[in-house]
Amino acid sequence: MEFVGKVAVITGAASGIGRAVAVEMARRNVRAMALADMGETVDGVAADINRDAGRKVAWSYRGDVTDEAFRASVFDDISREVDNVTICVPAAGISRAVDTPPART
């Protein structure tokens, strides 16, 4: 896949697969990336990527990617700052509690 000129949103970008994808996209000259994650380490990931790329390519966003308003704000902000999002990488490790039925007696 060609990444030059593309704008991406990557969830779970502070670690694991999301971080690896972000690093690789920067290496392949993606135009810009919104890195979204709940942890503050996403700020450091963006700073490292920008330093290594020698330009601002990564913007960090801290919040809950299961929150529709947060997701919309990330897409709106990166679109306003750079251009329309053309790639979305949902790499956040999201799990939800499942209601367990009460034990039978």
pTM, whole model, 2 decimals? 0.85
Whether 44 is covered by a domain: the verdict is yes
| CATH of residue 83 | 3.40.50.720
Whether 80 is covered by a domain: the verdict is yes
Phi, psi of 85, deg, nearest 5: -70, 130
Whether 101 is covered by a domain: the verdict is no
What domain range is 46 assigned to?
A: 7-90
Block residue for tokens 């790329």: 53
Q: In what helix (H) or strand (E) does residue 22 lie, and over which residues does it extend?
A: helix 16-27
| CB environment 79-105: b (16+ within 10 A), e (fewer) | eeebeebeeebebbeeeeeeeeeeeee
> Which pLDDT tens digit goes with each residue over 86-98?
999 999 886 655 5
User: How many domains does one find in the chain?
Assistant: 1
Whether 105 is covered by a domain: the verdict is no
Residues with Cβ < 8 Å from 3, sequence gap 6 or more?
25, 28, 29, 30, 87
> Which pLDDT tens digit goes with each residue over 50-74?
999 999 999 999 999 999 999 999 9
Whether 20 is covered by a domain: the verdict is yes
Whether 97 is covered by a domain: the verdict is no
Q: Which is nearest to 86 in space by CA: 27, 34, 13?
A: 34
